[in-house]
A and B are shown apart, each in its own frame.
Chain A
Amino acid sequence: MSLKRNIASGLLLSALSATTLAAQTLVYCSEGSPEGFDPALYTSGTTFDASSHPIYNRLTEFDTGTTNVIPGLAESWEASADGLEYTFKLRQGVAFHANEMFTPTRDFNADDVIFSFERQRLADHPYNGVSGGTWEYFEGMSMPDLVASVEKIDDYTVKFVLTRREAPFIANMAMDFASILSAEYADAMMAAGTPEMLNQAPIGTGPFSFVAYQKDAVIRYTTNPDYWNGASELENLIFAITPDASVRYQKLQAGECHVMPYPNPADVEAMKADDGVNVLEQEGLNVGYLAYNTQMAPFDNPDVRKALNMAIDKQAIIDVVFQGSGQIAKNPIPPTMWSYNDAVVDDPYDPEAAKAALEAAGVTDLTLKIWAMPVQRPYNPNARRMAELMQEDFAKIGVTVEIVSYEWGEYLSRSSDIDRDGAVLLGWTGDNGDPDNFLAVLLGCDGVTNSNRAQWCHQPFEDLIQAAKIETDQAERTRLYEEAQVVFKDQAPWATIAHSVVYMPMRPEVEGYIVHPLGGHIFYGVSLTE
């Protein structure tokens, strides 16, 4: 409270006048509240939208609108010949933000990089346990095993030593958990006895500096005039937290906000017809699938799996479950990702052929459980309905389906069991734009009994993805992943169902907004016309 008060009286009243908002004030009707403002502590996109994108930078960045990795706070980097050392040359003259409690005395340098990673990596680091630090993403991306050391060569050179070759490492450095915080601010807050301020009153190098957050209501930012990549045209950025999608649309129409995420699929047609609203769209970086348990007869037979896949009418699922805001998936990675193999041919929808193939495989009177998730996700907005459609499809080829569901936590844990009975509806949203993040996590041998819900460990596929993981030549990696997708299609551990389509409705005066394939909502580069 007192913090909010301090900031209120200080920074902002100068930035926001009481009676008029600056013309370049963008209001974003966000869908929920951030959990905090230190992105390394959290995993939700809502939190990243409010923290890592406006406030922070990383050593490498994703080029907005693509999954390509470009220089960020590191101007350049090089890998050693054995692929075990990455040396980053840091950008000079990058200033951190200031707030009521802290004014930086120096620019960004190697100490900040060391601090940002060592606090997550070393259990005895003073900041390791601050704010209940569990560093989920750092752990989830296997960074503790991967990073052997982070060394300062000089003020503007940092070396990461890895325990194994790992090509996606550079993309990992562009992820939200790798945001660079100020070591000087951290020291000052530790000395003041308020280390949790790092999470509550964030200081970064990003295009917007944090002004105030009123829980579940409003987040305010103001432009960082000294931003190293050029100050944003927007002078103020406001997140008006609006959990209900219909209300977000009403606010957009009434001019109470400029941009909103996650419209109701049913509203999209009306929005497109509305002159007061522009709707941008792009495929999401995700996939929804049905994973068979490939360790259990008869689903251990690829012919049976392929036969079942031919019985699923995916177009009907797109029409009914996604209400048009999805597209049929034929590969386990989405089309916006590099190495997507468009030459792969999807299994045709052909119930007669499916029936014949099942008979040829010697399977009759098959019964199957389909697990329907109890939660909504972009890759599956209504799993129950999807399961019902599949039930009808499978009935046509003589397969009896029982639909089961559990509470979400139970669902996640039981669906990982190796002797799970039935096929599971689930999906995945990409973290770092690297195919490894889909293919190894979801289909690699290490993921069996965990994130590999098909319990599928197929050596030819495993060899390809492991070779691609350590290969640093991009063209060769692409070739390996393309081949892996062919093997996947042939073996059919999943029925690939859909990739969602992301819609971003906004008012016509918003210019320069780019829908980011990694799912974040980014306002740097956006401006408002009269």
Chain B
Amino acid sequence: MLRYILARLVTFVPTFIGVTLISFAFIRVLPGDPIIVMAGERGMTEERYQSLVEELGFDRPVLEQYWHYLGGIVQGDLGQSFVTKRPVWDEFFALFPATLELSICAMILAIALGLPAGVIAAVNRGKFFDRALMSTALVGYSMPIFWWALLLIIVFSGNLAWTPVSGRIDLLYYFDNTTGFMLIDSILSGQKGAFGSAVRHLILPTIVLGTIPLAVIARQTRSAMLEVLSEDYIRTARAKGLSPARINGVHALRNALIPVITVIGLSIGTLLAGAILTETIFSWPGIGKWMVDSISRRDYPVVQGGLLLIAVMVMIVNLIVDVLYGFINPKIRKR
């Protein structure tokens, strides 16, 4: 297994270089000069423009700029934001825990409901349960996130006053940002009620962000289960007189899990890349909004550094998924 992981880590290197190249090129291919965007309606004199070009290094050949950027990465320096003048590294790690916390909660919700829903639908194929669950999943998959989030806010925060409208914790709690994960920090703070407040703030964003992965997982589980349920060894298990719970829950589900885990891995990648709409609506201080803002401001260092860090996170998640395949299916491990 260790050799397998090491081999996978080696493949990281070309991917990593590819990502630096793409992120570096991507923002430069977009039309729009960051200095002009910075000046806005006000404009600036030609001399001022030239001095900023020099200051930001845009007068140097593109290859040299790229080389300089790569050199920085090797030394752990991703540059500093044109806008806030703060290191990209600091900004990313100030925001990433919020994105990670929300993504994990959304994934837990999606898996906890999506897997059983898919199994139940497959076992009851063609019956009422199956149709009801799969139509709900289709609605969940096609629902506009913006609309869904506002609907939940209006009903649960506005009319019923069960959940807060937005934010990560009630403003009356103020404590140290030790880990950046509000659920953990609220416990560490020792303040009464803080954890409960953090949980209440997580409910609606978790539901909104988890809706699409939930629908995808449910549908994927159903189709994978249907395939497995028609296999010979399931018929054998039935003939042996095993209980339906054991057949479906152990024999079938375990074998159906491989494609489901692939889908889960891909969904996590998407969530980590920033749930821009969910973060914007719920005022969730994560990296999605940060990235989109920096693209529109042509904040080169943030776009480059942010994409790179997100890509690394996604690569790590993929590695974990691959390792999980091995645990679930020993055949893959031996390959």
Which A positions have Cβ atoms within 8 angstroms of B? 1, 4-5, 8-9, 12-13, 16, 18-21, 27, 35-36, 41, 43, 131-132, 134, 136, 139-140, 196, 199-200, 212, 214-218, 220, 238, 240-244, 246-247, 250-251, 253-254, 256, 406-410, 412-413, 416, 426-429, 441, 447, 450-451
Contact partners of A35 in chain B: CB under 8 A: 83-85
Q: Specify the chain A residue showing the minimal Cβ separation from B90.
A: A1
Q: Is the CB of A18 within 8 A of B174?
A: yes
Does B106 interact with chain A (Cβ within 8 Å)?
A: no
- Given contact pairs A9-B176, A214-B285, A407-B31, enumerate 10 new A-B contacts (beta carbons under 8 Å): A8-B177, A196-B85, A196-B86, A241-B283, A244-B283, A247-B166, A407-B30, A409-B31, A410-B32, A447-B43
14 contacts between A and B (CB under 8 A): A5-B178, A18-B175, A36-B84, A43-B38, A132-B80, A140-B42, A196-B85, A217-B98, A243-B283, A250-B166, A256-B166, A406-B31, A409-B31, A412-B40
Provide the bound-state CA to CA distance between A416 and B44, in Å: 11
Contact partners of A19 in chain B: CB under 8 A: 172, 191-193
Given A140-B44, A410-B32, A412-B43, the answer on whether A247 and B171 have CB atoms closer than 8 Å is: no
| Contact among A132, A247, A447 with B282 in the assembled complex (CB-CB below 8 Å) | A247
Q: Is the CB of B42 within 8 A of A43?
A: yes
Given A217-B167, A450-B43, the answer on whether A247 and B32 have CB atoms closer than 8 Å is: no
Contact partners of A244 in chain B: CB under 8 A: 280-281, 283
Provide the bound-state CA to CA distance between A21 and B173, in Å: 9
Q: Is the CB of A250 within 8 A of B33?
A: no
Q: Is the CB of B171 within 8 A of A251?
A: no
Which stretch of B156-164, B245-253, B313-321 is in the interface?
A: B156-164
Q: Is the CB of A242 within 8 A of B157?
A: no
Given A214-B177, A412-B39, the answer on whether A246 and B150 have CB atoms closer than 8 Å is: yes
Q: Is the CB of A247 within 8 A of B91?
A: no
Q: Write the nearest CB–CB distance from A117 to chain B, whole angstroms.
A: 18
Given A247-B281, A254-B157, the answer on whether A136 and B43 have CB atoms closer than 8 Å is: no
Does B55 interact with chain A (Cβ within 8 Å)?
A: yes
Q: Write the nearest CB–CB distance from A377 to chain B, whole angstroms.
A: 8
Contact partners of A253 in chain B: CB under 8 A: 158
Q: Is the CB of B172 within 8 A of A20?
A: yes
Contact partners of B167 in chain A: CB under 8 A: 217-218, 240, 242, 256
Q: Write the nearest CB–CB distance from A124 to chain B, whole angstroms.
A: 15
Q: Write the nearest CB–CB distance from A361 to chain B, whole angstroms.
A: 31
Given A139-B44, A254-B164, A426-B41, the answer on whether A242 and B85 have CB atoms closer than 8 Å is: no
Which B positions have Cβ atoms within 8 angstroms of A? 30-34, 36-45, 48, 52, 55, 80, 82-86, 90-91, 94-95, 98, 150, 153-154, 157-158, 161, 164-168, 171-178, 189, 191-194, 280-283, 285-286, 289-290, 296, 298
| Contact among A8, A41, A43, A238 with B40 in the assembled complex (CB-CB below 8 Å) | A43
Contact partners of B95 in chain A: CB under 8 A: 215-216
Q: Specify the chain A residue showing the minimal Cβ separation from B281.
A: A244
| Contact among A216, A218, A247 with B165 in the assembled complex (CB-CB below 8 Å) | A247
Q: Specify the chain B residue showing the minimal Cβ separation from A42.
A: B83
Q: Write the nearest CB–CB distance from A190 to chain B, whole angstroms.
A: 17
Q: Is the CB of A132 within 8 A of B85?
A: yes
Q: Is the CB of B171 within 8 A of A238?
A: yes
Q: Write the nearest CB–CB distance from B40 to chain A, whole angstroms.
A: 7
Q: Specify the chain B residue showing the minimal Cβ separation from A134.
A: B52
Interface centre among A12, A41, A240, A413 (most CB of B within 10 A): A413
| Contact among B32, B154, B172 with A21 in the assembled complex (CB-CB below 8 Å) | B172
Q: Write the nearest CB–CB distance from A523 to chain B, whole angstroms.
A: 15
Contact partners of A407 in chain B: CB under 8 A: 30-32
Contact partners of A451 in chain B: CB under 8 A: 41-43
Contact partners of A447 in chain B: CB under 8 A: 43
Contact partners of B281 in chain A: CB under 8 A: 244, 247
Contact partners of B193 in chain A: CB under 8 A: 19
Q: Write the nearest CB–CB distance from A371 to chain B, whole angstroms.
A: 13
Contact partners of B41 in chain A: CB under 8 A: 412, 426-429, 451
Q: Which 8 residue pairs spanning A and B have beta carbons closest together?
A: A409-B32, A216-B285, A132-B85, A217-B285, A409-B37, A18-B191, A131-B85, A409-B36
Contact partners of A12 in chain B: CB under 8 A: 174
Given A243-B283, A247-B283, the answer on whether A254 and B158 have CB atoms closer than 8 Å is: yes
Given A4-B177, A132-B80, the answer on whether A409 and B34 have CB atoms closer than 8 Å is: yes
Contact partners of B298 in chain A: CB under 8 A: 409
Given A12-B174, A215-B94, the answer on whether A250 and B37 have CB atoms closer than 8 Å is: no
Provide the bound-state CA to CA distance between A41 and B81, in Å: 13
